[in-house]
Amino acid sequence: MSFFIHRDHTEIAPAIWRAVQAYHHAIPSGSLNWYTSDDGDMVPLDNAGWEHNHKEVIDCLEGGGRTVELRESPSETGGYHVEYYGRLLNSLFHDAPVTTLAFTFPTEYLVEHGVARLRCLVLELARELPFNFGYASFALVSTQGSWAAGDWDITEALLARYPGLDAPHALRFSSILGTRALGPYWLTFLGQPLLGQLGGPDALRNALPFPEVSLLPIEGDRVLVTLDDWPDPIDTQKQAIPPQYRALARLMEPFLFQYEGEELLPYQHDTNRWIRRFL
């Protein structure tokens, strides 16, 4: 699950830390064991490490960017993982910065606790955050910097077959997403200004007249769109893409992120196509 918050991190630091604490309390004890230190190394997450990361989030009077990365394992992907990239909207180092907070659960959590509990937890985390866009979805998870270590041909084949999967890259999108969207997901969170640009809750209801879809207003002029009772990787060898995904994608189309320019790198072309996969 990822949340994109178009605010300076200095404005929302307490809410960010409350969300991190809520996640930590919800997962099994001992599931977060490592963090990224100031010099970029992974080091054990002890009491001193928690204090370091608390200061990284809360003590932000001097401005600048903020980074918190907490992991279950220093060498394995998946599992439990937190990524936080605090941004300043006037930063000269990013094209369209947006403060970003992402959490990962292993699929076993969903199997053990059920979809209702996971959805409630995602909603609990979301309520803390004045997001403009966010989502929860099945995903192929790679800890930061390790995508290149895998077999990208296999990854591309999986993403092509299962459009309901995500390939999250919180760090990259924290520098370029701004107020745009990344598409429809099982749980799609919409806040301002994006919700207003889409026409508000009434426009969403009109565009999504499907029995599987529900809309839940959230305090602060935000809404949660649930596209199905259960997250679905959507195996296109066995089923068509559900119409509610296509309908929300069409409504979002003018506000979807796209790399722009005449000479895009191959991964930028790939990202553009992938974000538009439901259109």
How confident is residue 278, by pLDDT bands cut at 50, 70 and 90?
very high
How confident is residue 40, by pLDDT bands cut at 50, 70 and 90?
confident
Q: State residue 167's pLDDT score.
A: 87
pLDDT at 147 over 60: no
- Tally the residues of the chain: 279
CA distance 18 to 181: 24
Beta strand pairing call for 187-190 and 133-136:
antiparallel
Q: State residue 152's pLDDT score.
A: 74
Q: Left if phi > 0, otherwise alpha if psi is -120 to 50, otherwise beta: which for 219?
A: beta
Share of the chain above pLDDT 70, in %: 96
Q: State residue 59's pLDDT score.
A: 86
Q: State residue 61's pLDDT score.
A: 65
pLDDT at 145 over 60: no
Q: State residue 238's pLDDT score.
A: 96
Per-residue pLDDT of 242-266, as tens digits, reads 999 999 999 999 999 999 988 899 9
- pTM score: 0.95
Q: State residue 55's pLDDT score.
A: 94
CA distance 55 to 191: 28
- Written as six digits, the tokens of 97 are 């910065």
CA distance 185 to 164: 7
The predicted model gives 76-90 an average pLDDT of 90
Q: State residue 144's pLDDT score.
A: 56
pLDDT at 231 over 90: yes
pLDDT at 76 over 90: no
Q: State residue 38's pLDDT score.
A: 85
- Written as six digits, the tokens of 120 are 């409630």
CA distance 43 to 33: 9
Q: What is the mean pLDDT of the chain?
A: 93
